[in-house]
Amino acid sequence: MDVPLNYTQLDHVVQAIADRLDGDWLLIGGALAALWFDSERVTEDVDLMSLSDDARRLELMRLASDLGLPVESVNSAADFFVRRIEGWADGLVPFRNGARGTIYRPDVNLFLVLKMQRLSEQDLSDCLALLELECSSDEPLDVPRITQRLDELPASEDGSVQERRARLRRALTTSR
C-alpha cells in the first residue's frame, strides 16, 4: 500500500470490522499501537486475525475492498506469529465491541513478545511507548517472563538488532 493509514482511518476500519463482521478478532501490530497508545503512529496495514474461523479472511478482505482499501491493507497472516506463542489465548483483552463482532488486543506481555520477535526500530519504538504507558496502568507487566523470552531469541549477527534488544532489556528493568 502506498499511503500509510493514520489514526482516523484505522479507527474507521477497525470499527467497521466490529460492526460488519461476525465473530471475535485479534488486532496486533502498528494499527493496534496507533489506536491503543500512540495516536501519531501510522502503518501500512491492519494486522488482524480471526479467533474463531480461518475462513473469515475472505470476509475481511471483502470488507477492506468495500471500504475502498486494497485487500493488502488487512493482513490476516498474524495468526502464524501469534499461534506460535504458548499460552497466547490467555493474553487477550477486549478492545472494541461492535454490532456484530468483538476486537481483542494482546495484553502488554503478549504485545511485547510479538514485537520482540523481529524487533525492528519501529517495533522497539512501539515497545518503549507501551512500556511508558504501562507504568501508569493497572495491567500487570511480567518482567521475568518477557526477559526470559528475550533471552530465548536466536543470536543475531546484526549489531543493530543486538543493540535494540539491549535497549528493550534496559527499559524492562527500569519499568515500574
Statement to judge: residues 126 and 145 lie in one domain: yes
Statement to judge: residues 47 and 17 lie in one domain: yes
Statement to judge: residues 122 and 102 lie in one domain: no
Statement to judge: residues 33 and 86 lie in one domain: yes
Q: Identify the pLDDT of residue 139.
A: 86
End-to-end CA distance of the chain: 38
Q: Are strands 23-28 and 101-106 parallel, antiparallel or unpaired?
A: parallel
Is the residue at 2 inside a domain? no
Q: Identify the pLDDT of residue 126.
A: 96
In this prediction, residues 146-174 reach a mean pLDDT of: 93
> 152 lies in which domain range?
112-174
Statement to judge: residues 54 and 121 lie in one domain: no
Statement to judge: residues 83 and 59 lie in one domain: yes
Q: Give the gyration radius of the chain's Cα atoms.
A: 16
Statement to judge: residues 100 and 13 lie in one domain: yes
Statement to judge: residues 25 and 60 lie in one domain: yes
100 to 48, 123, 161, 172: CA distances (angstroms): 16, 31, 41, 38
Exposed (0-12), middle (13-18) or buried (19+): which is 171, by Cβ within 10 Å?
middle
Bridge partners (DSSP) of residue 106 are 92
- pLDDT exceeds 80 at position 1: no
Statement to judge: residues 82 and 35 lie in one domain: yes
In this prediction, residues 67-79 reach a mean pLDDT of: 86
Q: Identify the pLDDT of residue 153.
A: 93
Is 0.95 surpassed by the pTM of this model?
no
Q: What is the pLDDT of residues 33-51, one digit of tens each?
A: 999 999 999 999 999 999 9
Is the residue at 166 inside a domain? yes
Alpha carbon 75 to chain centroid distance?
11
Distance CA 37, CA 132 (A): 9
Residue after which a domain boundary falls, among 106, 125, 159: 106
Fill in the DSSP letter of residue 140: P
75 SS3 class? strand
Statement to judge: residues 88 and 124 lie in one domain: no
Statement to judge: residues 74 and 154 lie in one domain: no
Residue after which a domain boundary falls, among 74, 106, 138: 106
Element (H, E) at 63: helix 56-66
What is the tally of structural domains in the chain? 2
Statement to judge: residues 17 and 99 lie in one domain: yes
In this prediction, residues 67-73 reach a mean pLDDT of: 89
Is the residue at 1 inside a domain? no
Fill in the DSSP letter of residue 138: S
